[in-house]
Amino acid sequence: MTLLRIDSIGGASGNMLLGALMGLGVDRERLVTALRGLPIEGFDLVTREVKQHGHVGLHVEVEVVDVPHPHRGLAAITQIIESSELPERVRSLSLAVFRRLAEAEAEVHGTTAEAVHFHEVGAMDAIVDIVGCCLCLDRLGIDAVACGALPVGCGTVEAAHGILPLPVPATAVLLKGFDVTPTDLPFEMVTPTGAALLTTWQNELAAGSGAGGVAGATANGFGSRELPDRPNMLRAMLMDTAADDGPALNCWVMECNLDDMSPELIGSLCGRLSAAGALDVFTTPVQMKKQRPGVVLTILCGAGEREALLDLVFTESTTFGVREYPVTRRVLERELVPVQTPYGQIHVKLGRWKGAIVTRAPEYEDCTAAADAHGAPVKVVYEVALKSLERSLGNE
């Protein structure tokens, strides 16, 4: 698969990402033509070669033509993107970025994502930057994205809502769970658009930051400001990873010890955590201090769900603290196939490793429903489903 590796010493913004991705081989004219398919007008992409501190790359600026640009909320932007003829993957990724950006702004201002408005020229910039970057991602055939630690500025910045700390509140919300490196530079280095793009890509495409592979083309995207001690630069690198290794997912493990909580409440918490997006939830019996029996509650989740799951643990359990650490999760390629049995249709989950089927698992809910309907043992339905699968695969 093709992995996009992002490393930055100058920060991250929509136009820096766009410049780096175009530098990897996306033609400007074709990109602009595709963007013209959006039902908006009054913009152009202006590119120029830049050299800073001995490094060269591309600077891209969204030039907004002097025509009316209305305030746009999430619903209006969703309508713009969904009514376009962009590829489905581009529409889906672009909408996910805008949703994440709106939710961050809503958290900062104590409102809802639907009530957030992207103002005038800023809305046009964001649409072109976000959709343009997602188009580049699709044109380059990128399957997964990994990002190194992002540098953030210090001090304050003057914005529409007054003096704000750096990173600005929306960016700080977006970067929860992601690695950052503080600097002494009094500038906004990571913008909300840049943070929303990178964190959404990592959540949606989910490549492990430690994923290895064969390094390919590299390109640099530059911001507008010149920094005193470094190039204002973001580097993008294409990497070919072994397709038969299986996807590598960025995940978090959260753990806490519980020895003073009712088992029924622990069971309820596990159910709520699963419903809230945890990838896995389980408990392990342990002997704790003073020989009290207890359990270790373990949660596996993606970065995007981490904060909500932490809220649940602290509000629904008796723990005073949670241990957290990042992990890389390897998973089989999965496929759900229907098979016909004397008990009706049963779905079977197939797991492939290096192209070969290594795991077969009938869906539990299908098996129990069929067993109830026919008055048969669940294990019999399970076994019949597996035999039906083998016949359909030509193994019998």
Q: What global pTM score does this model have? A: 0.63
Estimate to the nearest angstrom the gap between the alpha carbon of 239 and the chain centroid. Answer: 19
How much is the pLDDT for 70?
A: 63
> 394: pLDDT confidence band, cut at 50, 70 and 90?
confident
SS3 state of residue 119: coil
Pick the more confident residue, 93 or 42.
93
What is the rounded CA–CA span in Å between residue 353 and residue 333? 7
How much is the pLDDT for 388?
A: 92
Mean pLDDT (whole number) for 1-26 = 92
Is residue 108 within 8 Å of 118, Cβ to Cβ?
Answer: no
How much is the pLDDT for 216?
A: 85
Instruction: Answer yes or no: same fold for 248-330 and 333-392.
Output: no
**Residue 369, C-beta contacts closer than 8 angstroms, at least 6 positions apart:** none
Query: Any idea what DSSP says for residue 190?
Result: B
How much is the pLDDT for 208?
A: 46
Mean pLDDT (whole number) for 53-82 = 83
Residue 237, beta-bridge partner list: 5, 218
How much is the pLDDT for 320?
A: 94
Instruction: Please say if the pLDDT value at position 8 is more than 90.
Output: yes
**pLDDT tens-digit series, residues 322-378:** 999 888 788 888 888 899 999 999 999 998 887 889 999 999 999 999 999 999 999
> 63: pLDDT confidence band, cut at 50, 70 and 90?
confident
The H or E element containing residue 284 is strand 280-287
Domain-wise residue ranges, the chain: 2-245, 248-330, 333-392
CA-CA-CA-CA torsion sign (127, 119, 49, 185): negative
**CATH number of 333-392: 2.60.120.10, 1.10.357.10, 2.60.40.3620, 3.10.20.300?**
3.10.20.300
For domain 248-330, give the fold: Alpha-Beta Plaits (3.30.70)
- Summary mean pLDDT of the chain: 87
**pLDDT tens-digit series, residues 189-218:** 999 999 999 999 988 775 444 456 778 899
What is the rounded CA–CA span in Å between residue 353 and residue 351? 7
What is the rounded CA–CA span in Å between residue 209 and residue 203? 12
How much is the pLDDT for 120?
A: 40
